[in-house]
Structure 1
């Protein structure tokens, strides 16, 4: 009837509108609707744009989270959170890192005042990093000094600290700092982890999610994380760069510590060598003193059996060294050859050999010893000859008597 108002179409859900914009476009009532449907499908695959499907319905906004988006992947991240005893709490700021980093001390003072400005409560910043959408995050922990042991302290549990900061009475002061939320960085329990792994995120194919769970290299350390769209990929690359910078700083710190340890090791080694040298010198001095003391103490006494055995060994060694075919004979032969070669070079106009000072002194000492030995031998022979003459001269007298 003309007088009756037309019925408005019943509102449909977002998922139904998304399906209608691809499968049932009814704008023009001709072939152009198919072209619009294909265009909507193309927009859905790249995850951005607006899809029109009816003249009487509002367009559907497309996000990368839709099931048709092709720019999706699943990576793995380390299990979020730490032990609750470490007391780490993340404060997310709605400001850029460059605006918050210079005012870290002000943040610490404000948080300390929120805890009642107690002298036994100390607020520390564990780390600070940049987040997406021009935000940043500061990780803090609070230490409480023990009354019965002032030199010892304990950290407040992360859950207790987070619950305290999330009180309604403290929200305005945290908002003045730019803090939008305070999260306890604790490991998820088994129920939370199971729920996360069993329910795929919005827009992720359940089969892909199950495959990612089965391909997890270490389920005790890593969890699958969806990357939807280029913004998530860019953010993950940025996080990797931050971690790489952190590792580079740590490696640089370790390198400087190793360099310092090497210097200390070299200094300690030099000192040890110096002490060893001094120990050897002192040992020789002590040995000489002991020898002199023993010689003085045993003047006029007979040799003990041990000393007699030692003297016999030394005499045998001297005999071996003094043998013509041993060291002295070989050294004399070498000296003769050197003299012959020097004379030969001198006759041929060649350059003469020159001994260094130490070798020359050693040679002089050895030749002096040889000369003294020859003198002693000559004196002994002369004495024996004189004694033999006396015997020969006195032999006829002995026969006559």
Structure 2
């Protein structure tokens, strides 16, 4: 049989019996410690399908590693093929769904065309015949529906009025909201606006108060300085006589009673 099949060796794959497995497990191979053999039996992931096999030497270990690598590559190739098949099936499913949608649309168009053809055929066929009672009742019903739609107080006019009223109510509500927001006080606007929802501690409030008081003092000083300069310009416009008469008063009166720092602060603020 081997010569007929051109095979080197033929061996039957027969599952070992339970007695053979028991004898194999009880007698460890040569050169293998009994504890290691028992541990290998305990670590067997599939006791029903696999049995521990000893590996002697680096050549056996290398061969086992190469077999595992080849098996892993084979599994990866099979998974890749399965993934390609799944992708092709998904693409085919998408194409079929698109084609089905087109066919449904075409079916609807054809059904409409068939209805038009049947309508025209029925009209030509019924030409010259008297109108039946069912047709008359149907015509009356259609005319009544059309009159309800197109009458001065019909559905179309009511729909337009309802739409206009809805738009007007929406605009009035928006205007009312704007007026309510505009009618709020400064504190209410600050409180209502989430951008001004500040959380400041006592020190921050004190610094802010001091800064605002300094700005207010600077504004007062610049106002006083402007009033004094306005008085000086008025004296200069009146003439030298009034200037000479009021010279003593001007020499006795200081130009500005503000401190240099505050005056410079006010001037810098005005220049900006």
- Larger strand share, 1 or 2: 1
TM-score, normalization: structure 2?
Answer: 0.46
Using CA pairs below 8 Å that are at least 6 residues apart, which structure has the higher relative contact order? 1
Q: TM-score with structure 1 length normalisation?
A: 0.33
Q: Rg bigger for which structure?
A: 2
